[in-house]
């Protein structure tokens, strides 16, 4: 089947810097793209999503960019904080309900 993948398995950034986590997708029929954050020992938490007919959406300190031409999704975190250290998953929604998750990127924020 079609898959969602991540360019880098780990990312280390300094506190206060901006972080960019990338994701490639291949299912052109997906209608939503979503980012989740998973802290150690917890379930994934929704961060932000973007509809397939949009190219940018902003939240609190986060921005998601969608480039349908190259099937690329990114999550930008501004002024990264220690509490942002976690594994980040991108996911695409297809068939109106099912999510296809990527393998995850581990973000480590150093002082």
Residues that bind other proteins (CB under 8 A): 1, 4, 9, 32-34, 41-46, 49, 89, 91, 93, 96-104
Q: How far is the CB of 84 from other proteins (least distance, A)?
A: 19
If the CB atoms of residues 32 and 61 are measured against other proteins, the closer one turns out to be 32
Q: How far is the CB of 8 from other proteins (least distance, A)?
A: 13
Nearest to 105 by CA among 36, 56, 50, 47: 36
If the CB atoms of residues 43 and 111 are measured against other proteins, the closer one turns out to be 43
Q: How far is the CB of 43 from other proteins (least distance, A)?
A: 3
If the CB atoms of residues 96 and 111 are measured against other proteins, the closer one turns out to be 96
């Amino acid at each position: 089947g079609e898959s969602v993948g991540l360019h880098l398995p780990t990312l280390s950034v300094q506190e206060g810097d901006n972080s960019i986590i990338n994701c490639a997708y291949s299912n052109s029929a997906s209608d939503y793209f979503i980012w989740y954050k998973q802290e150690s020992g917890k379930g994934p938490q929704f961060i932000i999503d973007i509809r397939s007919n949009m190219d940018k959406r902003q939240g609190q300190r986060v921005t998601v960019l969608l480039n349908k031409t190259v099937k690329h999704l990114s999550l930008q975190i501004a002024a990264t904080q220690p509490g942002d250290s976690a594994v980040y998953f991108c996911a695409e929604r297809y068939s109106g309900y099912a999510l296809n998750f990527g393998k995850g990127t581990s973000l480590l924020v150093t002082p």
